[in-house]
Structure 1
Amino acid sequence: MSADLNSPHQNNPGIMALPIDPDSETSTPDHVPLDSRDILIVDDTVNNIRLIAEMLSLAGYSVRKAISGPMALTAVEANPPDLILLDITMPDMDGYEVCSRLKVDAKTRDIPIIFLSALDAAFDKVRALQLGGADYITKPFLKEEVLIRIENQLRLRQFKQDLETRNQDLENTLYQLKATQMELVQREKMLGLSQLISGIAHEVNNPISFIAGNLEPAEQYFETLVTLLDLYRQHYPDPEGEIKSAIATADLDFIVADFASLLKSIHSGTVRICDIVQALQTFSHQGESDTKTINLHATLDSILVLLQTRLRGQGNRPAIAVQCHYSDIPAVTCDAKLIGQVFMHLLNNAIDAIDALGKEDSGTSETASSPTLSIYTSVTDNQSVSVTIQDTGIGIAKPLHSRIYEPFFTTKSVGNGTGLGLAISYQIVVEKHKGSLSFESTPHQGSKFTVQLPIKFQG
């Protein structure tokens, strides 16, 4: 049992509290909002609790009482106080154990604890402070001293909480500054890229249209020449020796047979270039307003055309099989350039993940030997559609999942990633379009990113 503060001095080492000097300044802290300060007194001696509670109540504090360690822990768990006055010597559970339990719990470790005990040995004080106590007051005590120490601890805690709040505000501001800087840099970059793509598409479109427009007449002229040549050979089967020699040297029969194949190859290449030009124009949306209604399937197809060179086999990695599982979805009103940028980031990341797995497994695993990129579209409800991009790549380790959308964070090797792609995509989809961007990933099995967009964008 701890000492009773009301017992006589000669029989009790924990004598009553010394009186306040009536001429001293008031002990009630007038610059601390007392009405919101909740103090828990823990002591197994009822008279001690009564005396301290009366003193604190007169000072304006809200007071709660606990007469044992277990009761104190229950009270703190139910409603954490602003400060605890804790006696050490109590049956069943002493103050040291109470303090230890409170300090290991994240919810209660920051509550300041002032030990108030008749034990005045240096060992007791050191142990109390080592366990996390904020202060130690030995009995007998001055009421003024107790009140001032309580006020100091409450102020320290308030300063700490204010500092944590300001630090959090600074972190949020820094994050916003980084996000704004990232958005400005990326917006400028995409504007320049869009203008460059549009310019290239325009410049390539003119000569390729000229070539495509002249291929059909060229084929007709060639057929006419071959017909005339056949007629000539039928009517003059035995030409002069010089002509025979020239025909043999030129291998005229091979030229006639191969020229048709050559024209077909030129036609096929021209069609391919036209498709690329169309894809570039679709991706850049140059000359169009930012917000427009688009066909997501056309946007995805145009990006896949632009990524054809990356989808082909690379070193030991075979070509990536692309599977498009398109559903019947409505056109979506959105910022077309930004949404195209999101899908470009996600598809590029999927290919990077497949490449990374191919390098790590050297094509020995099933996913590395048969890389696949799948795209799914669907209507999620009457107001939104979803696009899922799934790969059979290297995947993302579980501990990194919480950081995947952080600006400048990347799982790629140095020099192979800026850490902006997913952060920008999240900003575009979630913050600008009020949609959602989620993912699932398993190491060495692949990742699945799902973009959900509202059908009508309120920009």
Structure 2
Amino acid sequence: MKPIKQQHRFYLFQQLIWGVLFSLLIAGFIIMALGALLTDKQIDQQLKQQARSITEGVVFSIEGLIELGNTGEGLIELRNTSIIQRVVQNYATLPLVMEVAVINPQNKVLAQSDTFPTRLSFSALPSPFTEVLDQAAQTGLPTSFSTKIDRHSVLVSVLPFSNTLFGQASRRGLAIVILDADALRKQAVQALSITVLIYIFGIALTLILMAMWIHRILLRPLKQLRNAIVSLNSIDQFVMPEGLPNNEIRLLAQSLKSSTNQIKQYQEFLHKQAQALEVAVQDLSAKNTQLDSALSELHHTQIQMIQSEKMSSLGQMVAGIAHEINNPLGFIHSNLVHITSYVQDLIGVIQACQEQIPQFPTTLQDKIDEIDLIFVQEDIIKTLQSMQIGTERIREIVLSLRNFARLDEAKIKAVNIHDGIESTLLILQHRLQATDHRSEIQIRKYYGELPLIECYAGQINQVLMSVLMNAIDALDSLNQRSKTPEIHPQIKIQTEEISEQKIKIAVSDNGSGMTQEIMSNIFDPFFTTKPIGKGTGLGLSISYQIITENHRGRLFCESEIGVGTTFTIELPTHQTR
């Protein structure tokens, strides 16, 4: 056994690390994006609350001072707006406050903090700004809005109020507070930046620990197993490495050890068979006729053994694949039910929010318009339904594979023949589809009421596969050779109980039919009418042996040129134990 060359090291390690890194980065990006969005909303809410509190505080302070002044001594001094100016100036020192002003009903500024970089003239502001102030003074409703003043993003809060200071005016005075939105956003960005740095550090630490963990429990045992394989000089010298973890890697090593033992035993068996064959050939060398017959029979037996071994291995492999597919498929199928329920709940919450909140904030409404929320609500249900249909289809295919995979069962069992037919048809579905030479093959089923049949289920499936494939091949060759208008191909499958002890399965096609000469040799070993490389001539021969010898039944053929061919299988309902 030649040593294995060392190639492409650590690809698995790199793929695992990159996979983990990519997953962490995606998760981090999503979390930070959501955090930024929520932070922006919190900033707007915080600014509005703070602005409202300041305007209410200004109004409360002014009203309190005026009420105090009306008691007597300070009345003349309180009429002077210097006290209001002092109140305004005190509130202007609060964090994020850029401007505080009090305007009387005649739009005259009674007090202004002058903390804005450029002194504001409220009467000379743009029309949208002044319109908001006029509307608030007339209606008496507080309001707030975001805008830009001298390239500063600000939040303006306006609180109308009435007071004896203004006399009997129909309009109200206004307390105005302007907060610096840029400063608060800058603080939020700094906090978010620190969070990002902490997350990056966490990713780096996670990758280091993950790399150490992967190397310890996966790569090192795999390297030990690989070194044990590379050091082999013969298939029977495999030694199980020490210290392998008790997981799938140990199971792989045990399977490899078991396989090498089986290969060794099989080699010894073949060696003994070859020796026995050589002795037999030497003993029969003098009898040419008998030698030819014996060699032909031996060759036939060997081919049948190989074919049976292939079918048994195929059954084990298909059963294993079906099992491995079915496990994750079960998780997906069951979780789809919960996901569908969750999505419907979320859609219900979204619809409830839309009903309770007629007008969303601009940023949220823009996001809703960007993703086309109505289309997403409709399409996600359709997508989940299509996924549900897809998983159901896969489950049907897996079930058919498991039913057909009973090729290696050595015990007689009571089975439903119709299940075997359906499983075989599902596996051959691709052969029934339309091709360049013919249209789709139509399957006509005429199932009777059948009891459970005692049989070798895997062998019966093998016979059904062989007979159906023979019918499909006949229809394929018909349209390739025919110069007449295309014949619509179809296969008819009929089952019935012909007595209390026997059932019948008939498979008919509307192909070109067979001559009497071909029919007389159809079940002979190695007889085939297909081109070289298209068939071995053993399918129907083995099927005949399975039905007649293993099940004490009948397999026969009826055909008419230009009409088609019918293969009939007769099976007893009970087998002798």
Report the TM-score when normalising by structure 2. 0.48
Q: Which whole-Å deviations, capped at 9, do the CAs of 1:181-228 have from their partners, x for residues lacking one?
A: 222011100111011011101100101101111111111011011111
Give how far 1:454 is off: 1.8
Task: Give 2:298's aligned amino acid.
Answer: L
1:406: which partner in 2?
Answer: 524
Kindly tell me: are residues 282 and 251 of structure 1, through their superposed partners in 2, closer, same or farther at Cα, counting changes over 3 Å?
same
1:21: which partner in 2?
Answer: none
Q: Are 1:218 and 2:339 counterparts?
A: yes
Kindly tell me: are residues 169 and 378 of structure 1, through their superposed partners in 2, closer, same or farther at Cα, counting changes over 3 Å?
farther
Q: Answer whether contact 1:316 1:362 (CA < 8 A) is retained.
A: no
Q: Answer whether contact 2:312 2:408 (CA < 8 A) is retained.
A: no
Mapped to 1, the partners of 2:518 and 2:408 lie a distance apart of 40
Displaced runs of 4 or more, over 6 A = none
1:292: which partner in 2?
Answer: 413
Give how far 1:457 is off: 2.1
Q: Are 1:252 and 2:373 counterparts?
A: yes
Q: Which whole-Å deviations, capped at 9, do the CAs of 1:255-297 have from their partners, x for residues lacking one?
A: 2112211111111111111111111111122785432121111
1:191: which partner in 2?
Answer: 312
Pairing of 1:368-447 with structure 2 (within 5 A): 368=487, 370-447=488-565
Task: Give 1:283's aligned amino acid.
Answer: F
The structure 2 residue matched to 1:200, chosen from 321, 340, 358, is 321
Q: Are 1:228 and 2:344 counterparts?
A: no
Kindly tell me: are residues 397 and 351 of structure 1, through their superposed partners in 2, closer, same or farther at Cα, counting changes over 3 Å?
same
Mapped to 2, the partners of 1:170 and 1:431 lie a distance apart of 26
Kindly tell me: are residues 348 and 382 of structure 1, through their superposed partners in 2, closer, same or farther at Cα, counting changes over 3 Å?
same
Give how far 1:423 is off: 0.9
Q: SS at 2:569's partner residue?
A: strand
Pairing of 1:243-392 with structure 2 (within 5 A): 243-285=364-406, 288-361=409-482, 364-365=485-486, 368=487, 370-392=488-510
2:571: which partner in 1?
Answer: 453
Give how far 1:248 is off: 2.6
Mapped to 1, the partners of 2:460 and 2:290 lie a distance apart of 31
Greater relative CO, 1 or 2 (CA 8 Å, sep 6+):
1
Q: Answer whether contact 1:433 1:457 (CA < 8 A) is retained.
A: yes
Kindly tell me: are residues 309 and 292 of structure 1, through their superposed partners in 2, closer, same or farther at Cα, counting changes over 3 Å?
same
Kindly tell me: are residues 283 and 439 of structure 1, through their superposed partners in 2, closer, same or farther at Cα, counting changes over 3 Å?
same
Q: Answer whether contact 1:433 1:458 (CA < 8 A) is retained.
A: no
Mapped to 1, the partners of 2:317 and 2:480 lie a distance apart of 33
Kindly tell me: are residues 237 and 167 of structure 1, through their superposed partners in 2, closer, same or farther at Cα, counting changes over 3 Å?
farther
Q: Which whole-Å deviations, capped at 9, do the CAs of 1:58-87 have from their partners, x for residues lacking one?
A: xxxxxxxxxxxxxxxxxxxxxxxxxxxxxx
Q: Answer whether contact 1:385 1:454 (CA < 8 A) is retained.
A: yes
Give how far 1:377 is off: 1.0
Give how far 1:171 is off: 5.8
Kindly tell me: are residues 335 and 172 of structure 1, through their superposed partners in 2, closer, same or farther at Cα, counting changes over 3 Å?
farther
Q: Answer whether contact 1:290 1:337 (CA < 8 A) is retained.
A: no
199-208 or 401-410, which moves further after superposition?
401-410
Mapped to 1, the partners of 2:484 and 2:435 lie a distance apart of 11
Q: Answer whether contact 1:284 1:337 (CA < 8 A) is retained.
A: yes
RMSD, aligned α-carbons: 2.2
2:165: which partner in 1?
Answer: none
Q: Answer whether contact 1:195 1:284 (CA < 8 A) is retained.
A: yes
Q: Answer whether contact 2:312 2:407 (CA < 8 A) is retained.
A: no
Mapped to 2, the partners of 1:251 and 1:362 lie a distance apart of 56
Q: Answer whether contact 2:407 2:457 (CA < 8 A) is retained.
A: no
Q: Which whole-Å deviations, capped at 9, do the CAs of 1:312-333 have from their partners, x for residues lacking one?
A: 2233532222122111122211
Mapped to 2, the partners of 1:378 and 1:442 lie a distance apart of 23
Larger radius of gyration: 2
Q: Answer whether contact 1:317 1:363 (CA < 8 A) is retained.
A: no
Mapped to 1, the partners of 2:500 and 2:522 lie a distance apart of 30
Kindly tell me: are residues 219 and 326 of structure 1, through their superposed partners in 2, closer, same or farther at Cα, counting changes over 3 Å?
same
1:133: which partner in 2?
Answer: none
Q: Any stretches of 5+ residues in structure 1 without a counterpart?
A: 1-165
Q: SS at 2:467's partner residue?
A: helix
Kindly tell me: are residues 172 and 372 of structure 1, through their superposed partners in 2, closer, same or farther at Cα, counting changes over 3 Å?
same
Mapped to 1, the partners of 2:347 and 2:479 lie a distance apart of 51
Count of aligned positions: 291
Mapped to 2, the partners of 1:423 and 1:302 lie a distance apart of 22
